[in-house]
Structure 1
Amino acid sequence: MEGSKAFSKDFMQRHSIPTAKFKTFGSNQFDNASEYIKTCGHRVVLKASGLAAGKGVLIPETTEDALAGLREIMVDKAFGSAGNEVVIEEYLEGPEVSVLAFSDGYSIVPLPAAQDHKRIGEGDTGLNTGGMGAYAPAPVATPEIMNRIVKETLRPTIDGMRREGYPFVGMLFTGFMLTKSGPKVLEYNVRFGDPETEAILLLLEDKTDLAAILHACAEHHLDSIDIKFKPGYAVSVVLASAGYPGNYKKDKEITFGLTSPDCKFLPSRLIDSTLTLTGYIPVMDEFSLSPHTRQHSKSLFKKLTMESIPFSSKEKLVVGILHIAPSHPQLLIHHLKPL
């Protein structure tokens, strides 16, 4: 479901799960794929079918860009063997949300929807990343939208996998585009995923035991667990080395003067207030709970400024920062230069 986009798209088609129109091409079908791009009549998205560390998706602006991207994947092998098959999809428009859901093969329990910022550049431009930050719950995922997601996608997915002989047990991570005609699946992941997980799990009520949930999934009695969530909003913000998601220098150190109790770092990466950057891995996450989105936004911007983060590295860093406006939540990417 995650390791082959071609497989997952065929699965969605078999079970009438809403997704973008698509066609799949093998490694020896470059000419056929090129002709499809020229004649399909709509803007396309190119996806390397295999695993490509979250970077195997190209969103070209023009037909010429699409043909060049196709050559990168199929001829130049930009993503290695992950590009042995290529899925060419219809480009979908709308806000994107991620929905993580626990399942024991029968029951399905979705968590609050999250939104992340995938492109590296400001204004939603540039290459795709593994996600530069996320917040949850996403206001755009209304109760009506979540009901449709469960009814039209999550339930048919879990039932379909069981009927085909491989019941899904664990965490199903589904990316959606909220189009004018309703939620459509972008992709499946069969695991927790950064940077949404860090924000979403913070919303679990303190008395809700994650280990008990996972055990119930494994033992097929998830319906016996009462999963509750806190009110408010949670945010995860990522720092990454300059150059990511392309070539970048590793093991750059940053000394942090930020000591707010609301700021939590991944303990494996922070030693004596010194952080080592290794690329995408979310080496710093800013978690916060607030009942009001605007208060949350102002607090986050105040904490993540150059004045509060003195960089010892000579390389600039990329920081995903959340900004929630009253009617239009979005993630912004800021390229920060050292002081």
Structure 2
Amino acid sequence: MASGAGDALLNSFILLCFAVIGTIPYLVPVVVLAIAVVMNAVFALLIGTGFSKRWSDPSLTGMQIFAGCVTTLLAILLAPQIVYMFLLNLFVLLSFGSLYFSRQAFFLTWLLLSACLGICLWAVRDHLGIQVTNTAEWVLLWLVVVLSLGRFVNINTKVSRLRASLSEKNKALAAQATRDDLTGLWNRRKFMQSLQDEIEQANRTGHRFTVAIIDVDHFKKINDTFGHLTGDAVLKEISQILSDTCRSVDSIGRYGGEEFTLLMPDTKTAQAIVALERMRRMVEQHNWSHMAAGMRVTISIGTVEWQPAYPLPLLLGKADAALYRAKAGGRNQLRVA
């Protein structure tokens, strides 16, 4: 918006300078500035009120480029003596599209603009500031402008695709930085960061939450008996079971090896026990025969409810101690710190 308003003011000032030296009537800069003021006010209202958020392009970039092109074509009709200025402005307007337009949008814009430009240039062909003595020269002038715009649009399309590709790569890199490669769950670093944030919030608000550490029982035996590829498949399937069982507000991560961590906001011990027992039973009752005949997989769980002033190491230490008791007690069970 600020860039569009700045361009409008700059163009109006240049038009005023042309009017001062007698090249064009004073009416031209007045009309162009008035149109620009009205359009910018409309766009500012749509964006400022949040009304534009219901559309796919909340910044209304495409509509602003369209409005700018319409204003430029109108200016050609009003002041054909300085048509070269407006032709150059079209390139400036289309350059904004490189950040937002798709290839199809650029192509359609080019077709529509070429047709409208041809009509405008033909309408004022006898008054153009560029010497055009016959129809053939007019056609060539139009072709030069249209082809130049076409090449410009093609370059902008490539820039737009490159930008989209870089954006996707950046998203992928960001996901890799926070996700475990095997399971797709949060990695240890991301989980610890989320847990620390939850602790800080709890210290401010006093809201309780629960943390659990989940361990796959006898996982080394699974690897030794069925192979590491099967072991990886077991971890992936368990991560899916846990993800499907926990709430959307819960955060689950791979703590390392065959251990998973679960953060349950606004959850006290009694509620956590119900949810964690459901997870334990889901894993125990899951049909693992499609991986290997006779395979049986269970999990042990240690959980702790956050208490005021519990730092992160103490919180995880208590959950880990509870997990140790679950494993020492025979595995496939839940213990509370």
Same fold (TM over 0.5): no
TM-score range normalised by the length of the shorter chain: under 0.3
| TM norm structure 2 | 0.24
- Per residue, is there more helix in 1 or in 2? 2
Higher relative contact order (CA 8 A, sep 6+): 1
Greater gyration radius: 2
| TM norm structure 1 | 0.24
- Per residue, is there more strand in 1 or in 2? 1
